[in-house]
């Protein structure tokens, strides 16, 4: 594992000649942030040693390195999902590589289904906490102590001062925000009405098929984490409607300019220790 991380990291540093401290992971329909980056290197995932390949529509697979809001960033344009058949270790491998590159702050985004009836499609939700309902965990197996502790503390996976900074810049920019709990499921089937009711009852405000594994590994690595969900559809158990990937991408695309503004402002102001 350490060798694989080292190999990928070495390859990326060779191409990009820089080691950013801020990492960004862009979810479904949110890849447009890359247009705002002053790009130094855009590296297709398939060229990076030991990286899995992205297969899902709407997900491009590039690691983009450059500057955004005058700070160096490394951006994952597209992610790997557990439901594609990758192991949890494969899904989170890029986070291990970001850590090896020197990333200390991770901003992670996704498109998610809203469970909180107060939400509207297109809302941006700051993730304040998560529930791991994927049935798996990327830290299963022997722990590599140089990467992080055996039993990482999860009392505050989403860094409080990242949440308050995001709320402050959103208020400056007049961007409406929600806050809530994200539940990560395995997918790829969407939720039944009964499952939707259950997820709401256990305290979730949004549901999706990503993010939880990557955040667990980011916490294991000691990173500060900010999680942002674009609510692409609303799932209400007594009025559950079919949703298509096309619809989810359209809503995410519409929210993208607001999300991008938010991320840029956060990057401008975030303190890295
Ligand atoms: N359920 C699960 N994942 C999702 C959804 C949903 O309704 N929308 C976007 N990702």
Looking from the CA of residue 114, the nearest atom of ligand 1 is 7
Query: Which residue's CA is the nearest one to ligand 1's atom 10?
Result: 112
Q: What angle do CA 215, 218, 221 make, to 5 degrees?
A: 155
Start-to-end Cα distance in the chain: 27
Cα 134 to middle of ligand 1, angstroms:
14
245: enclosing H helix or E strand: helix 245-269
Q: What is the DSSP string of 50-89?
A: T-----STT---EEEEEEETTEEEEEEES---GGGT--HH
Looking from the CA of residue 185, the nearest atom of ligand 1 is 2
- Predicted local distance difference test score (pLDDT) of residue 55: 60
Task: Determine what percent of the chain is predicted with pLDDT higher than 70.
Answer: 97
The answer for residues whose C-beta is within 8 angstroms of residue 138's C-beta and 6 or more apart is 88, 89, 91, 92, 213, 216, 217
Cα 20 to middle of ligand 1, angstroms:
31
Q: Which of 19, 13, 2 is nearest to 272 (CA)?
A: 19
- Predicted local distance difference test score (pLDDT) of residue 151: 97
**Pocket-forming residues, ligand 1, beta carbon under 6 Å:** 111-113, 190-191, 207-209, 232-233, 235, 243, 248
Cα 113 to middle of ligand 1, angstroms:
4
Looking from the CA of residue 111, the nearest atom of ligand 1 is 9
Q: Which of 58, 113, 108 is nearest to 231 (CA)?
A: 113
Query: pLDDT by residue (tens digit) across 190-232?
Result: 999 999 999 999 999 999 999 999 999 999 999 999 999 999 9
* Cα–Cα distance measured from residue 27 to residue 112, given in angstroms and rounded to the nearest whole number: 10
Which one-letter DSSP state was computed for residue 115?
Answer: -
pLDDT category at 57 given cuts 50, 70, 90 is: low
- Pick from 189, 206, 210, 235 the residue to mutate for probing ligand 1's pocket: most ligand atoms within 8 Å of its CB: 235
What tokens appear for 257 in the block?
A: 């300019």
Q: Which of 221, 268, 264 is nearest to 98 (CA)?
A: 221
What tokens appear for 119 in the block?
A: 């939400």
CATH code, residues 2-269: 3.40.50.1580
pTM, rounded to two decimals: 0.94
């Amino acid at each position: 594992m350490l060798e694989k991380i080292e190999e990928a990291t070495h390859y990326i540093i060779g191409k990009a000649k820089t080691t950013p401290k801020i990492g960004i992971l862009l979810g479904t329909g949110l890849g447009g942030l890359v247009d705002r980056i002053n790009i130094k290197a855009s590296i297709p995932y398939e060229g990076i040693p030991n990286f899995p390949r992205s297969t899902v529509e709407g997900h491009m697979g590039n690691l983009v390195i450059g500057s955004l809001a005058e700070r160096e960033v490394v951006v994952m344009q597209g992610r790997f999902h557990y439901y594609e058949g990758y192991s949890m270790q494969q899904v989170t491998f890029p986070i291990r590589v970001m850590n090896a590159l020197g990333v200390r702050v991770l901003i992670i985004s996704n498109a998610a289904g809203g469970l909180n009836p107060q939400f509207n499609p297109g809302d941006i939700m700051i993730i304040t906490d998560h529930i791991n309902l994927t049935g798996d965990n990327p830290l299963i197996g022997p722990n590599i102590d140089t990467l992080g502790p055996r039993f990482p503390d999860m009392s505050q996976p989403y860094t409080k001062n990242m949440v308050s900074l995001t709320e402050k810049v959103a208020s400056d920019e007049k961007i409406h925000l929600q806050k809530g709990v994200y539940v990560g499921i395995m997918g790829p089937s969407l939720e039944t009405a009964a499952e939707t009711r259950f997820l709401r009852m256990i305290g979730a405000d949004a549901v999706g098929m990503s993010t939880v594994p990557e955040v667990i590994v980011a916490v294991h690595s000691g990173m500060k984490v900010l999680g942002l969900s674009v609510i692409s559809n609303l799932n209400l158990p007594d009025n559950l409607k079919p949703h298509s990937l096309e619809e989810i991408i359209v809503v995410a695309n519409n929210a993208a300019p607001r999300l991008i503004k938010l991320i840029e402002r956060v990057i401008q102001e975030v303190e890295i220790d």
